[in-house]
Amino acid sequence: MTDRKRGMRRGLTAYGDEEFSLFLRKAFIKAMGYSDDALERPIIGITNTYSGFNACHRTVPELIEAVKRGVMLAGGLPVEFPTITLHESFAHPTSMYLRNLMAIDTEEMIRAQPVDAVVLIGGCDKTVPALLMGAASANVPAIMLVTGPMLTGDHRGERLGACTDCRRFWARYRAGEIDEREINAVNAKLAPSAGTCMVMGTASTMALVTEALGMMLPGGACIPAVMSERLRNAEATGARAVALAKERLTPDQIMTPDAFENSLRVLLAIGGSTNAIVHLAAMAGRLGIEIDLGGFDRMGRETPVLVDLKPTGQHYMEDLEKAGGLTVILRELKPLLRLKALTVSGRTLGENISAAPPAWKQDVVRPFKNPIFKEGGVAVLRGNLAPGGAIIKQSAASSKLMRHTGRAVVFESLEDMAKRIDDPRLDVNADDILVLKSAGPKGAPGMPEAGYIPIPKKLAQKGVKDMVRISDARMSGTAFGSIVLHVTPESAIGGPLALVKTGDRIRLDVPARKLELLVSEAELAKRRKAWKKPRPRKEDARGYRKLFMASVQQADRGCDFDFLAAKVTIRIPRAIKR
């Protein structure tokens, strides 16, 4: 390559003499054993997100080798580099707190190093959005490769999957239905292979919406992590990265308003994780695109749930792969999609659908006219308790609680909840509404997956399986229940949730999209005047925590840092012209 802005000549270190900078760069890179011929080829960066703490990424070393093979077969030079990696169960206080840091790391490493294109390898929940956020801001040709879902386990003849069944069996254990010996036996079977959770959790959701977004090769979302086809997909991804470098097909040409609308459609149709709304908002925000929650809800009223996967249905990701993967879903949604959206394959989404193998008989993806639910899996609520919006995964909620009025039982913080939730003296009954405060972006901090408030033990032992629960927290995509999340503004900055007291009446009306605190305006004004901003924690005064607390936005803006989001130039979704 002779282009001074590509390959080893890209982004030279600032010594004040570009030729000397290139001379030094070549001297040091040759210490890695590269020839002059190799150094003249397109350089393809590969993000290494492997960690011994991250079982979702156990296969990353294998994937890297397969990507390298694809890059070299296509005439490029593959060079891997490390980035931060995140696993939900191995990140304190929560992986969401570190998502933006991983995005910054990814962006700056792409900018700093002479890569003509980059293969982004991720899998566990926050890694995929973090990588895509960073790539969108760096705007170097990029392509996503996910690690893929785990295979299912087995317990006494029953098929198991993380982590919907984690929660189901833990609830049974808390209720005294199974003993410690059995819960330990289940624990050993929930995650039987490498890969991401094999239900429609956040990882599976983000894989599918990323393929719909156009940032992944067609068919890449559902292949199980340990299958040989996953390695072939990695090889093809590496080869395509070289073509992207030559074509200069950058993320801003792929991650367009049309593409994000396609992702939102798929999110609704798969009964996907509520976390994906936050992540898509952050990803879109990097490109000056704002997701309007009201418009998203209107989209949901005309987009049915088609995928029969836990926690909404009964199947697992390997079943969706056997059924044909995302293409089967896209075919059913075709009248609602922006088919001219360009993808990393070099073809439009419509062309990808047309080029896919023919459909076959399967029972995982329903026909559009015979859906599992007539409306999308996620609904947006508003009212005096959530003027900025709140979210409920209606496809995983109890139908009897979709309209419910009850007495609030309030927990002021995660610590307060942990201390009192199982206290037999707790004044609570099955018709009450559990409310958790101080669990939002600033309050926790990091908006942890604490919205899945446990049923108080004394009620669980009486057979209570679900209650209405409300918080400014998030919930794992693998979870289920009548749970209102992402209440905005959050309580820690004085949102109405901060004013709720035990004994207040709250009305939830999902069909009407209402969430209302049934307290007079005069009383609320009195409480608002008396409310005091939480005192800063010692940890808030320095380092990344200080940056986070000063800059993190609310859930409706994706919890990205305000200084990383681009100026808004367009709001989506827009009406489809029929």
Q: What is the dihedral of CA 219, 222, 223, 226, to 10 degrees?
A: 160
Note the pLDDT of residue 6: 86
Note the pLDDT of residue 576: 72
What band does 575 get if pLDDT is binned at 50, 70 and 90?
confident
What mean pLDDT value characterizes the chain?
97
Q: Compute the C-alpha angle 454/455/457, nearest 5°.
A: 105
pLDDT tens track for 208-227: 999 999 999 999 999 999 99
Q: How many CA atoms lie within 13 A of 426 on its CB side?
A: 24
Radius of gyration in angstroms for the set of CA atoms belonging to the chain, rounded to a whole number: 24
CA dist., res. 50 & res. 32, Å (int): 21
- Taking residue 525's Cβ as centre, other Cβ atoms within 10 Å add up to 11
pLDDT surpassing 70 at residue 381 = yes
CA dist., res. 391 & res. 375, Å (int): 14
Encoding tokens for residue 566? 């681009």
pTM, to two decimals:
0.96
What kind and span of H or E run contains 210? helix 202-213
Mean pLDDT of 265-284: 98
Phi, psi of 216 (to 5 degrees): -135, 150
Helix axes 257-269, 326-333, angle to 10 degrees: 100
Residue 69, SS3?
Answer: helix
Secondary structure (H, E, C), 362-422: CCCECCCCCCCECCCCEEEEEECCEEEEEEEEHHHCCHHHCEEEEEEEEECCHHHHHHHCC
**Residues in Cβ contact with 470 at an 8 Å cutoff, skipping those fewer than 6 apart:** 385, 390, 433, 434, 435, 436, 483, 484, 487, 497, 506, 508, 515
pLDDT tens track for 398-412: 999 999 999 999 999
Mean pLDDT of 419-431: 98
User: Is 511 exposed, middle or buried, given 0-12, 13-18 or 19+ CB atoms closer than 10 A?
Assistant: exposed
DSSP string, 230-295: HHHHHHHHHHHHHHHHHHT--HHHHS-HHHHHHHHHHHHHTT--THHHHHHHHHHHTTTEEE-HHH
What band does 3 get if pLDDT is binned at 50, 70 and 90?
low
Note the pLDDT of residue 577: 67
The CA-atom distances, in angstroms, between 174 and each of 42, 159, 170, 435, 458 are 56, 21, 6, 20, 9
What band does 578 get if pLDDT is binned at 50, 70 and 90?
low
Amino acid making up residue 365: V
What band does 2 get if pLDDT is binned at 50, 70 and 90?
very low
pLDDT surpassing 50 at residue 1 = no
What kind and span of H or E run contains 525? helix 521-530
pLDDT tens track for 29-60: 999 999 999 999 999 999 999 999 999 999 99
Q: How many CA atoms lie within 13 A of 229 on its CB side?
A: 11
Note the pLDDT of residue 270: 98
pLDDT tens track for 149-166: 999 999 999 999 999 999
Beta strand 403-411 pairing with 505-509: antiparallel
Mean pLDDT of 122-138: 98
Note the pLDDT of residue 4: 53
Residue ranges of domains in the chain, CATH in brackets: 41-151+193-270+305-355 (3.40.50.2300), 153-187 (no CATH), 378-539 (3.50.30.80)
Note the pLDDT of residue 27: 95
pLDDT tens track for 57-89: 999 999 999 999 999 999 999 999 999 999 999
Note the pLDDT of residue 169: 95
Note the pLDDT of residue 282: 99
CA dist., res. 263 & res. 205, Å (int): 10
pLDDT surpassing 50 at residue 568 = yes
